[in-house]
Structure 1
Amino acid sequence: MKTWLDAWPVYRQLTGSDPLGRGKAARSKATENVVSRTATADRVVQSVCPYCAVGCGQRVFVKDEKIVQIEGDPDSPISRGRLCPKGSASKQLVTSPTRETKVRYRRPYGTQWEDLDLDTAMEMIADRVLDARRKGWQDEVDGKRVNRTMGIASLGGATLDNEENYLMKKLYTAMGAIQVENQARI
């Protein structure tokens, strides 16, 4: 016959077969009913942590097209399943209710911010890049052909991995920019 003492973990630990309290003595009904988020995921997507240039592997667990958990990827030769505190908290980067999902814009000489849809903001950026390239373009300098623009520059950050930095360098060079630098090298 079970008594109220049987529900008390310390009593189960002292009287049962688990004197160290590492197994059955420490488990409750609530513990038995807990299912991990990774076990209920529909799929697992391999990814790379976005925080620094180390490139730690991540496993992103997705259920109903929503991220439910992000963990280190044990198959990654770089991190072998480990993540730093920032990498471990990267789920918050994409699921936080405080994450900005709209583009905020303040017009020149404006005093108020306004929300823009992403397509409008991307068009504005493209127009400005083309305008800056056109206005700063140089065909020749001191009689030497240079085909460059001084109207565009890039300063990359340490959160970019090697592949992203490579693509940025290719993009800016293709646009004619020669001022391409990275914060990690400075």
Structure 2
Amino acid sequence: MSHHKEPFSPRTAVCHSRYRDAEKHHSVCLYCAIGCSLNIYKYKGDVVGIEGDDESPVNRGRLCPKGSNTLQVVRSPHRVATVRYRAPYSSQWEDRPMDWAMDRIAQLMKVSREAGFQEKNAAGMTVNTCHSIASLGGSASDNEENYLMKKLFTGGLGMLDVENQARL
């Protein structure tokens, strides 16, 4: 693939890229198994742009709708930074920090796992399984997230009830 580096005309010679002062980093899109190459532009420590890498033989600079909106994941002003929590028997919702929610989920999973963990089956064989927790995943998670969830839930927690609709 030939990439023309010189301006095509005097008019374009005075034009500048919108990322001219930004640092360019290469990465791979995480949304699916194709592995499209990305150019990530950072200016003063902030991500200012994400584009497909036109030198990549995989995607040749093109990105699907998920990949082309990767910048939204990083910089969207609508990105949720807290969780909504309603205590048992309460009619009021309250905002809680994400760290609180993660700690709460970990505590509840520990209690459920301990209550439903089966070390041996009826025949006395070691099974180390847990039927009291289930996991449902989806294609909105990227490959790496789905892989880690599967490894954590089946290998780490002994869960058998793990399902995912992303089976491409």
TM interval, short-chain normalised: 0.7 to 0.9
Match for residue 125 of structure 1? 105
- Is residue 31–residue 143 contact of structure 2 (8 Å, CA) maintained in 1? no
Structure 1 pair 85–119 and aligned structure 2 pair: CA distance change class (3 A) = closer
Pairing 1:175–2:157 present: yes
Give the greater-gyration-radius structure (CA). Answer: 1
TM-score w.r.t. length of structure 1? 0.71
**Structure 2 unaligned spans of 5+:** 1-7
2:101 corresponds to which letter in structure 1? A
**Structure 1 unaligned spans of 5+:** 1-21
- Partner of residue 50 from structure 2, selected from 52, 56, 70: 70
Match for residue 150 of structure 1? 131
Which stretch of structure 1 is more off in the superposition, 176-185 or 162-171?
162-171
Structure 1 pair 64–109 and aligned structure 2 pair: CA distance change class (3 A) = farther
Match for residue 11 of structure 1? none
Structure 1 counterpart SS, 2:87: coil
Structure 1 pair 46–169 and aligned structure 2 pair: CA distance change class (3 A) = same
Match for residue 113 of structure 1? 93
Tell me how many residue pairs correspond in the alignment.
159
- Is residue 55–residue 161 contact of structure 1 (8 Å, CA) maintained in 2? no
2:41 corresponds to which letter in structure 1? F
Structure 2 counterpart SS, 1:178: coil
Structure 1 pair 124–75 and aligned structure 2 pair: CA distance change class (3 A) = farther
1:147 corresponds to which letter in structure 2? N
Match for residue 164 of structure 1? 145
Aligned pairs for 1:85-124 within 5 A: 85-124=65-104
- Is residue 81–residue 97 contact of structure 2 (8 Å, CA) maintained in 1? no
**Percentage of pairs with the same residue:** 49
- Is residue 50–residue 159 contact of structure 1 (8 Å, CA) maintained in 2? no
TM-score w.r.t. length of structure 2? 0.77
